[in-house]
Amino acid sequence: MTSNHALFERARQLMPGGVNSPVRAFKSVGGEPFFTARADGPYLWDVEGKRYIDYVGSWGPMIVGHNHPLVRQAVADAIGQGLSFGTPCPAEVTMAETITRLLPSVEMVRMVNSGTEATMAAIRLARGYTGRNKIVKFEGCYHGHGDAFLVKAGSGALTFGVPTSPGVPAGLADLTLTLPYNDLAAAEALFAEQGPDIAGLIIEPVAGNMNCIPPRPGYLAGLRELCTRHGTLLIFDEVMTGFRVALGGAQALYGITPDLSTFGKIIGGGMPVGAYGGRREIMQQIAPSGPVYQAGTLSGNPVAMAAGLAMLELIQTPGFYAEIDRKTRVLTDGLRAIAVELGVPMTTNRVTGMFGLFFTDQTVETFAQATACDTALFNRFFHGMLQRGVYLAPSAFEAGFLSSAHNDDVIGETLRAARDALREARQD
Ligand code: PMP
């Protein structure tokens, strides 16, 4: 039998950090990642046969649990017809009809292959449509690895782009303005100064890449109003929240209509998929109906569309989101009760099936508060849980996800592990 360690040793020789996406390497929590051999329902099994209750869900897509029989059957049926055509295929039309029906703000849509592609295309479109160059993003929000997004504010310089990844040209970084999340006054001040130059404002309507931080009441409505007033496109990056916090995404949950939206994760059902869409007159600027270029050899791939459509079918079951919401509440309430019992300062945030744990005695509504939490305690807790067969996201700054396959027994088992893991972690 091969071991996790032996595989990681081989992988490290051949791939940067031994992985194909950085957070998987366990760098921030320490230790070595496990290698998954198979997954089913709420569980992953590693190559050594150890089972984990999975709260990562492939970073969001697996909202009906792993290896769902109906998704698998849809993929098997599609594979029987061929893997890629390079021509239009019927499933793309059904996918576009489904997305536009479930999200009224999306009148037209373009399929791509990842969330990164979706956000890169959305800001190109915002720039092409408005004829402006600057974009606004929020500190602590992640929109994939496009150059324009790998920028965050230097200390105190919220309006001045500073590249945080080498390789992003300063000239491009300067066009990305960054703001603190959940601070409407800061956004108003920036727009008062630079509004006429800002093509688009992109935001995770529930931040899920600095742990889980919901928008303050009225915040998204305030941004909507600012963007409308200044002729800036409001772009909701719903790669994580889309079909996760509600069937109609965060835009339905909070009742805000963005100009453009980006999607990924759940609409691919576990296959590599992304999408962007929005108002018809804006989307018609995309090639070939308009001049803003964007293309993809594998975009609208028939197998990926089949997986995504099966997933979108399943999440439309009546009561689906109410049940995920209930179970996530049982989990986060249970965790908080254990923390209180053990005298460990801990806060949780939660929006439907998305949650975050913070080791702090404060409520967490900002990037600064999220980054001020006790990450050393989180890391010890993470490893204690892992040892006990519960896989949380391997970073204190990632949201957790529940699926419909996490039943009350699974959550009960998680809470029993958490009591022991937390008791151990607080003593170190
Ligand atoms: N936007 C958001 C909000 C995300 O959470 C992510 C990925 N976690 C992306 C964009 C990028 O998506 P992908 O990894 O599919 O490129």
Question: Rounded CA gap, 156 and 247, in Å?
Answer: 38
Burial class, 234, CB count within 10 angstroms (exposed 0-12 / middle 13-18 / buried 19+): buried
Helix%, strand%, coil% for the chain, nearest 5: 40, 20, 40
Is 241 touching ligand 1 by the criterion CB < 6 Å?
Answer: no
pLDDT for residue 231: 98
Tell me, using a 6 A CB cutoff, whether residue 114 lines ligand 1. yes
What's the confidence (pLDDT) of residue 111?
98
- Residue 21: CA count within 13 A, CB half-sphere: 8
Within 10 Å of residue 162's Cβ, how many Cβ atoms? 16
What's the pLDDT score for residue 151? 81
User: Ligand 1: which atom is nearest the Cα of residue 115?
Assistant: 12
Q: Looking at this protein, which amino acid is placed at residue 179?
A: L
pLDDT digits (tens, 9 = 90+) for 365-383: 999 999 899 999 999 999 9
| Per-residue pLDDT, 152 | 63
Does ligand 1 come within 6 angstroms of the Cβ of 144? yes
DSSP secondary structure of 127-168: HHHH---EEEEETT----S-GGGSB-PBTTBTTS--BSSTTS
Q: Decide which of 155 and 283 is more confident.
A: 283
- In the reported structure, the alpha carbon of residue 67 is separated from the centroid of ligand 1 by a whole-number distance in angstroms of 22
Note the residue count of the chain: 428
121-139: per-residue pLDDT in tens? Answer: 999 999 999 999 999 999 9
Grade residue 391 by pLDDT with cuts at 50, 70 and 90.
Answer: very high
Looking at residue 161, its pLDDT comes to 46
Q: Which atom of ligand 1 lies at the shortest distance from residue 119's CA?
A: 10
Give the pLDDT confidence score for residue 157 in this predicted structure.
32
208 in Cβ contact with 399 (< 8 Å): yes
Q: What is the pLDDT of residue 233?
A: 99
Ligand 1 pocket residue status of 321, Cβ below 6 Å: no
Q: How far is CA 28 from the centre of its chain?
A: 19
Distance (Å, whole) CA 329 – CA 291: 47
pLDDT 10s digits, 309-323: 999 999 999 999 999
Q: What are the residues whose beta carbons fall under 8 Å from the beta carbon of 223, sequence distance 6 or more?
A: 184, 187, 201, 203, 234
Q: Do domains 4-63+318-427 and 69-314 have the same CATH topology?
A: no
pLDDT in tens, 165-198: 788 898 998 999 999 999 999 999 999 999 999 9
The tokens for 222 are 């305030």
Any atom of ligand 1 within 6 Å of the Cβ of 359: no
Cα 215 to averaged position of ligand 1 atoms, centre (Å)? 19
Residue 115 Cβ inside 6 Å of ligand 1? The answer reads: yes
Q: Is 242 touching ligand 1 by the criterion CB < 6 Å?
A: no
pLDDT attached to residue 170: 87
Cα 343 to middle of ligand 1, angstroms: 35
Residue 154 pLDDT > 90? no
Confidence of residue 28 (pLDDT cuts 50, 70, 90): confident
What pLDDT score does 166 carry?
Answer: 82
Q: Assess whether the previous peptide bond of 288 is cis (omega < 30° from 0).
A: yes
Identify the H or E element spanning 52. strand 51-54
Q: Give the distance (Å) from ligand 1 centre to CA of residue 2.
A: 31
Confidence of residue 1 (pLDDT cuts 50, 70, 90): confident
Which tens digit of pLDDT belongs to each residue from 39-57?
Answer: 999 999 999 999 999 999 9
Provide φ and ψ at 420, rounded to 5°.
-70, -45
Catalytic residues: 142, 237, 265
Mean pLDDT of 78-102: 98
370 CA from centroid of ligand 1 (Å) = 19
CA distances from residue 211 to 78, 219, 375, 401 in whole angstroms, order as listed: 36, 19, 11, 11
Task: Determine the residue of 113, 120, 239 to mutate for testing ligand 1's pocket, defined as the one with the most ligand atoms within 8 A of the Cβ atom.
Answer: 239
Q: Which helix (H) or strand (E) holds 380?
A: helix 375-387
Residue 119 Cβ < 6 Å to ligand 1: yes
- Mutation choice for ligand 1 from 58, 117, 141, 142, CB with most ligand atoms inside 8 A: 142
Q: Is the pLDDT of residue 219 over 80?
A: yes
Q: What is the pLDDT of residue 279?
A: 98
Give the architecture (CATH level 2) of 69-314.
3-Layer(aba) Sandwich (3.40)
pLDDT at residue 216 in the model: 98
Matching residue, tokens 């007033």: 229
Tokens of 229: 């007033």
Q: Which residue has the higher pLDDT, 165 or 258?
A: 258
142 Cβ below 6 A of ligand 1? yes
Q: How far is the CA of 184 from the centre of ligand 1 (A)?
A: 24
Q: Quote the pTM value.
A: 0.96
Residue range 247-275: mean pLDDT, rounded: 97
- Round to whole Å and give the CA distance between 425 and 66: 30
pLDDT, position 21? 93
**How many angstroms is it from 130 CA to the middle of ligand 1?**
25
> Residue 428: what pLDDT?
61
Give which of 263, 298, 307, 301 is closest to 92, Cα–Cα. Answer: 301
Ligand 1 pocket test, pick from 143, 204, 244 with the greatest ligand atom count within 8 Å of Cβ, gives 143
User: Which of 202, 240, 401 gets mutated to test ligand 1 (max ligand atoms within 8 A of its CB)?
Assistant: 240
- Measured between its terminal Cα atoms, the distance across the chain in Å is 34
The mean pLDDT of the chain is: 95
Mean pLDDT score, 269-296:
98
Distance CA 423, CA 407 (A): 25
What is the residue extent of each domain of the chain?
4-63+318-427, 69-314
Superfamily for domain range 4-63+318-427: Aspartate Aminotransferase, domain 1 (3.90.1150.10)
* Cβ of 250 less than 6 Å from ligand 1: no
